[in-house]
Homo-oligomer: A and B are copies of this chain.
């Protein structure tokens, strides 16, 4: 349907020239999308809100990402990619097993703490039963390696006799993740019910040490008292 009068207005109002910049546009959309999806969830997020926080128009989202779910999927992918990138440069192999493990745990705890948006995206994804994560081969492969550093540390520690021979890397990783994740994911309800003592700077530092201790005490040979 041809618009009436547009032909004329187009001539008068010579638009301030827009530059073609596909890459910047996509990055702009993804950055905003991460923020909005993280805050409101998949069904809670409004495409129009994303648009309004963007330098571009609604059409662009559908042009580059197909539909809302496509944008969400790409957002999730980018978030995982960024997080995993940061995790690699820890250089733990030159440390003794116990200090290496402690450094890894403390890094994980702090890293989760500083990435609430990412945590929220993972929460949202779990609400959706991992539907969209399941659709992305790249994310799944990317993450499998997340455990390899821990595997090496545990192997060295077992060889030296400072770690229990039956300490399972997957389970230890699970333990580290559980506490680091929960610390962020359930902050709202936990603080409301039990107060925010654990949420203060001192409280968080205390928890970090607690988590590091609890992991160390689990991989070390049995406590004779028990």
Residues of A within 8 A of B (CB): 40-44, 120, 122-130, 133-134, 139-140, 143-144, 146-147, 162, 170-171, 173-175, 177-179, 181-183, 185-194, 197-198, 206-207, 210, 213-218, 220-221, 223-226
Q: How far is the CA of A43 from the CA of B122 in the complex (A)?
A: 17
Q: Could you write out 8 A-B pairs with CB less than 8 Å apart?
A: A41-B127, A122-B189, A123-B185, A133-B189, A133-B193, A174-B190, A177-B190, A220-B225
Q: How far is the CA of A223 from the CA of B175 in the complex (A)?
A: 19
| 16 more CB-based (< 8 A) A-B contacts, given A147-B194, A171-B207, A177-B186 | A42-B44, A122-B189, A123-B127, A126-B188, A127-B127, A129-B188, A133-B192, A175-B179, A177-B190, A178-B183, A178-B186, A185-B185, A213-B218, A217-B217, A217-B218, A220-B223
Q: How far is the CA of A70 from the CA of B152 in the complex (A)?
A: 52
Q: How far is the CA of A17 from the CA of B194 in the complex (A)?
A: 40
- Cβ contacts under 8 Å, A143 to chain B: 193-194
Cβ contact within 8 Å between B127 and A186? no
Cβ contact within 8 Å between A198 and B214? no
- With contacts A147-B194, A210-B218 known, is A187 near B41, CB below 8 A? no
Cβ contact within 8 Å between A174 and B192? no
- Cβ contacts under 8 Å, A190 to chain B: 174, 177
Nearest CB of chain B from residue A221's CB, rounded to whole Å: 6
* A217 CB contact (under 8 Å) in B44, B140, B226: B226
Cβ contact within 8 Å between A130 and B182? no
Cβ contact within 8 Å between B127 and A120? yes
* A171 CB contact (under 8 Å) in B41, B42, B147, B198: B198
Cβ contact within 8 Å between B122 and A124? no
Nearest residue (CB) in B for A220 is B225
Most buried by B among A189, A197, A198: A189
Nearest CB of chain B from residue A102's CB, rounded to whole Å: 11
Cβ contact within 8 Å between A226 and B220? yes
Nearest CB of chain B from residue A164's CB, rounded to whole Å: 11
Nearest CB of chain B from residue A36's CB, rounded to whole Å: 13
